[in-house]
Amino acid sequence: MKKSTLLLLVLCLSATSVFSGGYQVRLQGHRQTGMGLVGVSLFGDASTIFYNPGAMSKTNNKFSFLVGGSGIFNNTVFSLENSTYQAKTDNPMGTPVFLYAAGKLGEKWSLGLGVYTPYGSSAKWGDDWAGKNLIQDISMKVFFIQPTVGYKFSDKLSIGAGFVYATGDVELNKAVPYSSPTVQGQANLQGKTTNYGFNAGILYTPNEDWSVGLSYRSEVTMALSDGDATFTVPSSLAGALSKDKFDADLPLPANLDFGFAYRSSEKFLFSVEFNYVLWETYDTLKFTFKGNPALNSSNPREYTNRLITRIGGEYIVNDLITVRAGAYYDPSPTNKNFFNPETPSLDTYGMSFGLSINPTKKFAIDLSYLHLETQETTKSYTPEYFTGNYKTRTMIPGIGLSYKF
């Protein structure tokens, strides 16, 4: 077998997949998380920077500061078609975090800055599971840094927009079919990148009881360039397959959010929201290798746009305590024929609870708990004939602090 034949074989296996379609993480405020992740029609604190910058200037506070984070405990079980074989992910805890600060500049204008993690994914299937040629483990982290400006036309109408500076890194491992009794062939791919985007929104509050929000977040392409590919192969192949550099584009999809909130009394607020996520952009994952063009691959993903439906409510028990609950349905954007376990994203039902404790008017401790369940679903990655049933359970407790005056 010649070198070129070997490389072609690697190409075929790279043609499986290489990294995640990205996992959208909307856990950017515990008030919203507690209410089933509604947010576009809510106002009153600096988390509007993420959920709807149009709502940022709709506040009576001069200054608002929020910081928080969540722990994502997520496991996926896989059952191989026609077999009693099962595998389970051993995912590390995911830790989305956020930090927002927003202040008023006079009556009409406001300025804010947000740092948050709207996309991220980690899946660890293990080095020797049945789908190791598709993925062994992957970790993707994306930070958005977003300076934001808001303007209030009147008490009824406000708008806002933010500039997004995105920075991200991805690392993944997958098996390659070149093994010896002591070395299991493996490809490690990692890369970092930065890019820009924006978000913008509008909030309309016709009266004290109602609010309607519309917000758009642009697509950001994480263009990995000069990523590092490192191959671990038996020594007799090390000459043919070693280090290389690669380029790949990973799209972070645009979102269009629309929702309204209704305050039925001083104490109770109810909200409904729709998020249209433009996943269609994630059609193919292409890898271009600098040293060995024979390694280049084009891997179908064929995601589709999806509409997420959410409801949430908030009840102010007293000056000290506010409780929240919510639910949503999040249909998976993945294609059932190109479902790669690197992103085991399934149709998901979410249910959440939240609690804020306000020891003083200015200061609050926010807690949230989000529970996600998926239906057991049969999925295939047809280029590799890899089919089985997947099911996921996710538990996400979160905590944050809020300070405003």
Residues forming contacts to another protein in the complex (CB under 8 A) are: 1, 6, 73, 75-86, 88, 130, 133, 177-183, 233-237, 239-240, 317, 321, 323, 353, 355, 357, 367, 369, 371, 373-374, 376, 383-386, 389-393, 395, 397
Q: Give the shortest CB-378-to-another protein separation in angstroms.
A: 10
Pick the closer one to another protein by CB: 57 or 356: 356
Q: Give the shortest CB-322-to-another protein separation in angstroms.
A: 11
Using left for φ > 0, alpha for ψ between -120 and 50, and beta otherwise, residue 235 falls in: alpha
Pick the closer one to another protein by CB: 138 or 175: 175
Pick the closer one to another protein by CB: 121 or 356: 356
Residue 193 to residues 84, 113, 211, 216, 221: CA-CA distances in angstroms? 41, 21, 38, 23, 10
Is the separation of the CB atoms in 370 and 351 below 8 Å? yes
Q: Classify 10 as helix, strand or coil.
A: helix
Tell me which amino acid residue 288 is.
Answer: T
Pick the closer one to another protein by CB: 1 or 107: 1
* Rounded-to-integer distance, Cα 88 and Cα 102, Å: 42
Pick the closer one to another protein by CB: 208 or 266: 266
Q: Give the shortest CB-376-to-another protein separation in angstroms.
A: 6
Pick the closer one to another protein by CB: 215 or 394: 394
Pair type for strands 220-232 and 377-381 = unpaired
Pick the closer one to another protein by CB: 171 or 342: 342
Q: Give the shortest CB-73-to-another protein separation in angstroms.
A: 7
Q: Give the shortest CB-387-to-another protein separation in angstroms.
A: 8
Rg (CA), the chain: 23
Three-state helix/strand/coil letters over 226-247: EEEEEEECCHHHCCCCCCEEEE
Q: Classify 5 as helix, strand or coil.
A: helix
Is the separation of the CB atoms in 38 and 362 below 8 Å? no
Q: Give the shortest CB-107-to-another protein separation in angstroms.
A: 38
Q: Give the shortest CB-300-to-another protein separation in angstroms.
A: 14
Q: Give the shortest CB-333-to-another protein separation in angstroms.
A: 20
In terms of Cβ atoms closer than 10 Å to its own Cβ (0-12, 13-18, 19+), residue 1 is: exposed
Q: Give the shortest CB-93-to-another protein separation in angstroms.
A: 12
The 10 Å CB-count burial string (b at 16+, else e) for 199-237 is: bbbbbbbeeeeebebbbbbeebebebeebebebbbeeeb
* Rounded-to-integer distance, Cα 148 and Cα 111, Å: 6
Pick the closer one to another protein by CB: 216 or 231: 231
Pick the closer one to another protein by CB: 307 or 320: 320
* Rounded-to-integer distance, Cα 92 and Cα 71, Å: 10
